[in-house]
Structure 1
């Protein structure tokens, strides 16, 4: 992939960008310009980038990555500064998507709103998760590509949302893979474990792995957690087992990918399953 991207830089430098999604001179990229999409690129030395309200880190070798959220606007500004007084501002077009919305009424209130006595716990846990996702390490493990984290049946997809008793709940930001309890869960690509918790309120057994440059992956509702924070793991290495811990109605793995606080559609990163 790295050789391909550097070759694309040379091509990009020879032609002006006819469309906003085409890279400007000095930059090459490939990926999904769609809500939930992830884009990987390479920039020539001295270039700095800013996407909307986010500074886009650029590695010493020029690699960078950015993503678009579930509800990203149809056009997102990208500022490119070349370090020599030149700058370009692009309006990146982002393809819009339709998501499945499900309404469920008549539920007991305890299934809709968490009890007051756990609100402080939820706040502490959310702050811990936000802190590890905010760190942007210089690793480039995300360049390796991705494999499926568990064997099973897709039971939930990115972007779907439930309205419970008339109250819109947070959209689902992950890929649910239903499988029996104890099914192995593996690291989808190389990285460093930055969070390993056996019992979070919402997500139960939870592992978050840092893949570099703001890209993290979370593995939720696991029955067992087999790694610890600070541990480096390899693609395909077992990190836990499928469970139904936390707020889960049955055994499954909820796998999520972020670019900092931007929620990425993880299924778009994976090879398609063979029938």
Structure 2
């Protein structure tokens, strides 16, 4: 009975048992550290925790005002931390009077291509590395003017479109795109219907970077890459209106804001950036 009681001990917040770095906001990605050997859940979902206690937390664009992080330590103690998740305003553009054919609908051939592409993406996400490649931090894959932000949304002829999945940086076709952090390439395809040239990088623990509309791809699935390594080049392939670098981050199927982890855009690079 005493052993059972010991397993049920709950501590509000033992000193030094958990540290969180990052913004607890909608679209935020948080880097966690706890004691070696611990397990963790977020709102009941199991998290990947490295042997040395590193883990990730992510909060989608429309996440609610709170979340519950539960850490179980090897000594049987349990830490429950209620997290307050701050809301953020996201831009919404309403455009009416458009030709409806430009707003919705695909041909049968297009739908078949989209379905094939979806299968490729699903297969690429079937595995993830246990390593914490993300722990080295993130930098901008391309520097320049930010032309599209995470979470923005268009409402066309009254039809709400999917919110923008990442961040866009205006740059000329052929501008090198660099890996923002180390990882393993899971997908490298030059001809996706929506994305055009597309690369997935697995940063470990189900954190994925995706780069869209590339004009050139310099890596292949299975490649182990380092932060800052050139992986391809900016383009306007797929469904794009002009050359730019689109970068999205997805953690356990939830899109988060790359701009929050990459930090301020280096100002020295802005003056020479191309328009999108």
1:228 is aligned to 2:226: no
Q: Which has the larger radius of gyration?
A: 2
> Which stretch shifts more, 102-111 or 255-264?
102-111
For 1:192-211, list aligned pairs within 5 A. 192-211=184-203
SS at match of 2:114: helix
**Deviation sequence 1:93-120 (CA, Å, 0-9, x none):** 1010111000112223332224131223
Give, in whole Å, the separation in 2 of the partners of 1:128 and 1:49: 30
Give, in whole Å, the separation in 2 of the partners of 1:55 and 1:107: 45
Runs of at least 5 residues in structure 1 that lack an aligned partner in the other structure: 1-14, 18-22
Which of 229, 233, 236 is the equivalent residue of 1:244? 236
Match of 2:163 in 1: 171
Does the CA contact (< 8 Å) of 2:144 and 2:265 recur in 1? no
Runs of at least 5 residues in structure 2 that lack an aligned partner in the other structure: 1-10, 268-276
Does the CA contact (< 8 Å) of 1:150 and 1:185 recur in 2? yes
**Deviation sequence 1:121-178 (CA, Å, 0-9, x none):** 2233234324434533212110111111113211000010001111100000211011
Give, in whole Å, the separation in 2 of the partners of 1:180 and 1:45: 46
**Deviation sequence 1:43-88 (CA, Å, 0-9, x none):** 2133211112421111111111111111111011222222444334
TM-score by length of 2: 0.86
Which of 98, 110, 113 is the equivalent residue of 2:89? 98
Give, in whole Å, the separation in 2 of the partners of 1:123 and 1:53: 31
1:184 is aligned to 2:191: no
Alignment: residue pair count: 256
Say what the alpha-carbon RMSD is for the aligned residues: 1.9
Which of 56, 60, 68 is the equivalent residue of 1:77? 68
